[in-house]
């Protein structure tokens, strides 16, 4: 990013699509400022960072800046909030908008104060001339101020001029959250609101044969029973009445089940039909001549659930043919597109308003439950209907992060240097969000497939770019003279899958970084030194060196049979944050991660504590995935229905975490939320190997797996 | 015929099935939506409230059992404008990501500190083991509870 004048073609995509400044920003007579963004708050503190960016560029108090809820009625469509791209994309757009707004205010002030623009200074929303005369933003900002297009000519603040970016601004949403204020869509209460629940099929393709709707309708409080093909929902006055009707519906409905699920081992993927996609190929014949020995290994990860603490929820209301939907979707415009397809209505017949839900780590049930609410609201015009999934619905029906298998093969020369690297990965696609596909496909909203006139769901498409889906981080960042990286794209999706935090990077980095450790051992090298020897990228080396120093890693250090430490490294997407992690484990029959050190380079740090918070969270969640998590299923049904079957990391099991932040204020900001998944998994596996020589190649590293590996 | 319930020091009469879980009465009848549904089986702690001094899962407590007990929800934690030391510590430590689990965690921590003003690290972790957090905010939540405990 240039700090000195940006040409229009260099502007962020959001600004090219919506060039008018008043689409993004509004000044109010009371001095407050509203920011309109298409990027939603999903628990990552994003809107605080946006307020911080705008306040910094405008030179106003951050407390004056409000971020408007994202709403299809007025918010720009900036795509889905995902992939840790929000600061990079949405934040950069807002910096430009705020800089242009400040420029427009300075122009007006120059005329008012009879001074030239360059003589003026700005502090706290007040512009001063050298003579001491001043005028405030409030006085200058009229409705027409921002009624114009972005020019792209206004320079962004230089690094030294920034006051807020790079500091920590306290989260704006925190006071409401610690006092229990109604901030989530789950908390929305509208006059006359009814409560709905959906009686889902017992397995993916089960068809509803019969249900005694009259018996359900006769239950206390029940206002309607909605049946459309295999979609069955109940609406009641009170929430517990809806739940009782749901429980009864589950007992009395009869279903034809026909789902056949694969073996509960990711290796079933190896026997599926697949399409071979070559991600990268590099040849160096003379290097290959030096090959002295070959090492191979195979790694896997299971299906992993998003498992939000608050089950998916939406409220919908039908008034005069128009639907209003309150949703925690990551893409309200995209969701509106899918709802319109299912309902067969025009663009202005559906409005989606974003409200926060529980933490979101990819494509969960948020969009699905919005369709559920709309289908129920259609039956009771004028009455809002709130639908919240039950815990078992959430586990059984959310789209999981796909299972993956990665086979690696490397050839080493006599010095133990890698001269040839082969990566073969097997996976489904990882993205099946609303509006991701053709106009007919509405795989992003579950119930569409259950209707009497169903929309056939289709599988997620093969990756379009080197860093998307299963191919994310499949290409190693190391310098290997010969490389062949292949993705075996499996189209058939016996389990419903879509985007989960970090997509394929989790399994790919786990495999690559575990294998680098195995190769270091084979070549008699220290794992830190082995990586540095194969890596010339400066910023990559810097995070590895930083975590080595922070953790006090000693070259060649070995565990004592019970305790060990291991390293993991990646640059997320090979384009976002650089992270290096050292994990310490204690091993008896079960594995306990006791401590994690991390070094992270996210380029320009917008919110210091925001980055640390995201890093800590990414690390703890990654520990949970690696040690404990796998979706269970038998031949026909998903068997993971509650927390008992899907334990996640508890407070007693939480490691100490220490983060070293490398701030590069002159580099563009890079996403951090998802960067840790793979490096942490590998660091744990490497620490276990370091402790006692046990090599774990299949996640999760449960007690059973450890005992199996010991046997 | 209503059922009498005392929540955050205020008595109310609720007219619904006595078997109704306390959670839905709090959220829908008393409009105290800070107590949140997470699992409905007492396994995640999102709906934790303090009842006669003990942290309980309100999704698991029928209204008939709650009647006559002293119940505190997250909305009753502050005294007027004065935030509870736990709330202040959570803000100071920025101990939140999405915040959905937060009310339950605050209430489990309150029950702990009321009974054990100077808890050990193990006490704190044990008291929170029934509360799940998916964002991985554990590190700073522990820090905040420690800070609140030492501020007393």
| Residues of chain A contacting B136 with CB distance shorter than 8 Å | 616-621, 624, 649
pLDDT over 50 (residue A600): yes
Output the pLDDT for position A1: 35
pLDDT tens digits for range A618-647? 999 999 999 999 999 999 999 999 999 999
CA distance A362 to chain B (A): 12
pLDDT tens digits for range B73-102? 999 999 988 999 999 999 999 999 999 999
pLDDT over 50 (residue A615): yes
pLDDT tens digits for range A549-579? 999 999 999 999 999 999 999 999 999 999 9
CA distance B91 to chain A (A): 7
Q: What is the pLDDT confidence band of residue A440, given thresholds at 50, 70 and 90?
A: low
Output the pLDDT for position A439: 62
CA distance B144 to chain A (A): 12
Tokens of A366: 């948020």
Tokens of A222: 């029940």
Percent of the residues in chain B that have a pLDDT greater than 70, as a whole number: 99
Please identify among residues 632-651 of chain A the ones whose CB lies closer than 8 Å to any CB of chain B: 642-644, 648-651
- Asked if B55 has any chain A CB less than 8 Å from its own CB, the reply is no
- Asked if A7 has any chain B CB less than 8 Å from its own CB, the reply is no
The per-residue pLDDT of chain B, averaged, comes to 96
pLDDT over 80 (residue B121): yes
Residue in A with minimal Cα distance to B95: A613
pLDDT over 60 (residue A7): no
- A238-267 average pLDDT score: 97
| Residues of chain A contacting B28 with CB distance shorter than 8 Å | 189, 238-239
**Winning range, highest mean pLDDT, from A106-120, A163-177, A454-468:** A106-120
3-state secondary structure of A345: coil
- Asked if A192 has any chain B CB less than 8 Å from its own CB, the reply is no
CA distance B33 to chain A (A): 6
What is the spatial distance between Cα A325 and Cα B85, in angstroms, rounded to a whole number? 38
Torsion of CA A217, A223, A225, A228, to 10 degrees: 150
pLDDT over 80 (residue B124): yes
| Residues of chain B contacting A656 with CB distance shorter than 8 Å | 139
What is the spatial distance between Cα A301 and Cα A685, in angstroms, rounded to a whole number? 13
- Asked if B67 has any chain A CB less than 8 Å from its own CB, the reply is no
Query: What's the DSSP call for residue A501?
Result: T
pLDDT over 70 (residue A5): no
pLDDT tens digits for range A309-333? 999 999 999 999 999 999 999 999 9
Distances (CA, A) of B40 to A592, A710, B99, B143: 29, 38, 19, 28
Q: Are B135 and A43 an interchain contact pair (Cβ–Cβ within 8 Å)? A: yes
A46, A651, A654, A676: best to mutate for the B interface, most B CBs within 10 A: A651
Percent of the residues in chain A that have a pLDDT greater than 70, as a whole number: 97
By 3-state DSSP, what share of chain A in percent is helix, strand and coil, each rounded to 5?
A: 35, 25, 45
pLDDT over 60 (residue A130): yes
Output the pLDDT for position A588: 85
Output the pLDDT for position A6: 46
Output the pLDDT for position A3: 36
In this prediction the pTM is 0.94
Angle, CA of A524, A526 and A531, to the nearest 5°: 110
What is the spatial distance between Cα A332 and Cα A326, in angstroms, rounded to a whole number? 9
Residue in A with minimal Cα distance to B73: A180
CA distance A107 to chain B (A): 39
End-to-end CA distance of chain B: 43
pLDDT tens digits for range A519-531? 999 999 999 999 9
Q: Are A171 and B90 an interchain contact pair (Cβ–Cβ within 8 Å)? A: no
The per-residue pLDDT of chain A, averaged, comes to 93
CA distance A345 to chain B (A): 33
- A418-443 average pLDDT score: 83
pLDDT tens digits for range A373-404? 999 999 999 999 999 999 999 999 999 999 99
Phi-psi region of A414 (alpha: psi -120 to 50; beta: other; left: phi over 0): alpha
- Asked if B39 has any chain A CB less than 8 Å from its own CB, the reply is yes
pLDDT tens digits for range A452-504? 999 887 778 888 777 889 999 999 999 999 999 999 999 999 999 999 999 99
Output the pLDDT for position A82: 72
What is the spatial distance between Cα A287 and Cα B65, in angstroms, rounded to a whole number? 76
């Amino acid at each position: 990013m240039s700090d000195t004048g940006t040409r229009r073609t260099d502007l962020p995509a959001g600004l090219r699509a919506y060039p008018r400044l008043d689409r993004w920003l509004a000044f109010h007579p009371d001095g407050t400022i509203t920011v309109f963004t298409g990027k939603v708050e999903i628990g990552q503190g994003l809107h605080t960072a946006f307020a911080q960016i705008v306040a910094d560029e405008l030179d106003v108090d951050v407390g004056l800046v409000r971020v408007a809820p994202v709403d299809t009625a007025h918010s720009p469509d900036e795509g889905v909030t995902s992939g840790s791209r929000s600061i990079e994309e949405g934040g950069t757009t807002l910096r430009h908008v705020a800089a242009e707004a400040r420029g427009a205010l300075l122009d007006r002030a120059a005329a008012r104060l009879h001074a030239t623009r360059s003589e003026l200074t700005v502090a706290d929303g007040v512009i001063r001339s050298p003579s001491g005369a001043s005028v405030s933003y409030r006085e200058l900002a009229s409705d027409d101020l921002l009624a114009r297009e972005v020019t792209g000519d206004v320079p962004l603040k230089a690094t030294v001029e920034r006051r807020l970016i790079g500091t920590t601004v306290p989260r704006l949403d925190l006071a409401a959250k610690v006092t229990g204020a109604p901030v989530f869509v789950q908390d929305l209460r509208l006059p006359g609101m009814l409560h709905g629940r959906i009686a889902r099929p017992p397995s993916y393709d089960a068809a509803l044969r019969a249900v005694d709707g009259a018996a359900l309708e006769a239950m206390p409080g029940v206002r309607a029973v909605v049946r459309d093909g295999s979609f069955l929902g109940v609406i009641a006055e009170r929430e517990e009445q809806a739940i009782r009707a749901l429980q009864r519906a589950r007992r009395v409905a009869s279903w034809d089940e026909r789902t056949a699920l694969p073996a509960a081992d990711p290796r079933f993927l190896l026997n599926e039909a697949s399409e071979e996609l070559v991600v990268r190929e590099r040849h160096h014949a003379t290097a290959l001549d030096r090959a002295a020995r070959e090492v191979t290994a195979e790694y896997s990860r299971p299906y992993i659930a998003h498992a939000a603490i608050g089950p998916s929820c939406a409220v919908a209301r039908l008034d005069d043919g128009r639907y209003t939907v309150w949703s925690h979707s990551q893409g309200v415009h995209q969701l509106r597109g899918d709802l319109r397809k299912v309902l067969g209505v025009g663009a202005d017949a559906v409005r989606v308003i974003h409200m926060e839900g529980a933490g979101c780590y990819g494509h969960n049930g948020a969009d699905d439950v919005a369709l559920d609410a709309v289908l129920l609201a259609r039956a009771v015009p004028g009455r809002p209907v709130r639908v919240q999934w039950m815990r078992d619905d959430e586990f059984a029906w959310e789209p999981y992060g796909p299972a993956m298998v990665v086979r690696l093969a490397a050839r080493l020369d006599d010095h133990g240097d890698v001269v040839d690297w082969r990566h073969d990965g097997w996976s489904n696609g990882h993205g099946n969000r609303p509006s991701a596909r053709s106009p007919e496909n509405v795989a992003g909203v579950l119930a569409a497939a259950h209707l009497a006139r169903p929309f056939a769901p289709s599988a997620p498409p093969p990756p379009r770019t080197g860093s998307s889906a299963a191919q994310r981080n499949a290409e190693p960042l190391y310098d290997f003279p010969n490389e062949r990286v292949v993705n075996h794209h499996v189209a058939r999706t016996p389990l419903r899958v879509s985007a989960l935090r970090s997509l394929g990077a989790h399994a790919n980095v786990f495999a690559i970084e575990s294998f680098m450790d195995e190769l270091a051992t084979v070549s008699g090298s220290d794992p830190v030194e082995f990586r540095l020897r194969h890596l010339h990228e400066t910023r990559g080396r810097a995070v590895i060196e930083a975590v080595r120093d922070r953790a006090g890693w000693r070259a060649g250090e070995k565990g004592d049979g019970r305790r060990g430490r291991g390293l993991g490294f990646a640059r997320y997407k090979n384009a976002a944050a650089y992270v290096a992690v050292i994990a310490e484990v204690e091993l008896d029959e079960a594995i306990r991660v006791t401590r994690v050190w991390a070094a992270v380079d996210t380029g320009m740090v917008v919110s210091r504590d925001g980055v640390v918070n995201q890093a800590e969270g990414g690390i703890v969640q990654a520990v949970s995935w690696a040690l404990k998590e796998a979706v269970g299923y038998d031949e026909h049904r998903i068997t993971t229905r509650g927390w008992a079957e899907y334990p996640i990391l508890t407070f007693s099991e939480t490691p100490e975490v220490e983060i070293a932040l490398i701030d590069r204020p002159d580099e563009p900001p890079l996403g951090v939320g998802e960067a840790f998944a793979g490096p942490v998994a590998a660091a744990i596996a490497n620490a276990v190997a370091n402790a006692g020589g046990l090599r774990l190649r299949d996640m999760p590293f449960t007690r059973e797996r450890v005992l199996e590996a010991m046997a | 015929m209503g059922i009498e319930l005392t929540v955050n020091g205020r008595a109310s009469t609720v007219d619904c099935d006595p078997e109704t879980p306390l959670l839905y009465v709090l959220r829908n009848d008393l409009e105290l939506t800070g107590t949140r549904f997470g699992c409905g089986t007492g396994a995640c702690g999102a709906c934790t409230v303090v009842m006669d001094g003990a942290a309980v899962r309100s999704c698991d407590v029928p209204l008939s059992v709650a009647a006559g007990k002293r119940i505190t929800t997250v909305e009753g934690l502050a005294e007027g404008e004065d935030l509870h030391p736990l709330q202040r510590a959570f803000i100071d430590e920025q101990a939140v990501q999405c915040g959905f689990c937060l009310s339950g965690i605050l209430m489990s921590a309150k029950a702990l500190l009321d009974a054990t003003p100077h808890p050990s690290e193990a006490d704190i972790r044990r008291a929170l083991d029934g509360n799940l957090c998916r964002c991985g905010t554990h590190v700073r939540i522990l820090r905040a509870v420690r800070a609140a405990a030492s501020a007393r």
